């Protein structure tokens, strides 16, 4: 049985939700700190700060690429390259509304049907997908 891996992150927040700010760090890897605040999360969505949804999008894009690459290899059609991205939609007062996954893949000797089937299976099998209870769409294409 595989050994469980514990991933760690921490955040320090000062002030209230709307006027406060914080820093989040990826404790396990030592990356960060990354600045966070409400404005970046719910108002502007851009800038030199991050948000929980951006971190979730990064995790989902990475997890999906890993799952998809493994399933393609098991199909004996390993990818040359996968460019995956995730867009997480957040609405203030309502929460995370959905995720749009996109992947452009370079894969030799695979039919369009097999590619589409494996892409969908990877979406369903990705542990981050499984952890979310929102609609997840996928746009998968061969380069």
What pLDDT does residue 119 have?
98
Token pair of 64, please? 């999906």
For residues 90-100, average pLDDT: 96
C-alpha distance from residue 19 to each of 8, 32, 107 (Å): 26, 22, 48
For 74-91, how does the pLDDT look when each residue is reduced to its tens digit (9 = 90+)? 999 999 999 999 999 999
| Exposed e or buried b per residue across 13-33, where buried means at least 16 C-beta atoms within 10 angstroms of its C-beta | eeeeeeeeebbbbeeeeeeee
Quick one: which of 49, 80, 85, 47 has its CA closest to 65?
85
Quick one: which of 108, 99, 98 has its CA closest to 143?
108
8 A C-beta contact, residue 92 and residue 39: no
How far is residue 123's CA from residue 102's CA, in Å, rounded to a whole number? Answer: 10
What pLDDT does residue 48 have?
86
For 21-46, how does the pLDDT look when each residue is reduced to its tens digit (9 = 90+)? 999 999 999 999 999 999 999 987 77
From first CA to last CA, the distance across the chain in angstroms is: 37
Q: Are strands 79-91 and 95-107 parallel, antiparallel or unpaired?
A: antiparallel
Domains of the chain and CATH, by start:
1-49 (no CATH), 50-140 (3.30.300.20)
What pLDDT does residue 110 have?
98
């Amino acid at each position: 049985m595989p050994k469980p891996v514990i991933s760690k992150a921490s955040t320090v927040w000062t002030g209230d939700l709307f006027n406060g700010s914080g820093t989040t760090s990826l404790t396990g890897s030592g990356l960060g700190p990354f600045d966070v605040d409400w404005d970046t999360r719910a108002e502007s969505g851009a800038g030199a700060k991050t948000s929980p949804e951006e971190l979730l999008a990064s995790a989902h894009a990475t997890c999906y690429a890993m799952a998809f690459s493994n399933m393609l290899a098991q199909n004996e059609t390993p990818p040359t390259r996968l460019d995956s991205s995730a867009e997480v939609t957040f609405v203030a007062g309502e929460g995370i509304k959905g995720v749009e996954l996109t992947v452009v893949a370079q894969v030799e000797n695979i039919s369009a049907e097999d590619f589409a089937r494996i892409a969908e299976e990877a979406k369903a099998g990705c542990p981050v997908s499984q952890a979310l209870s929102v609609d997840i769409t996928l746009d998968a294409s061969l380069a």
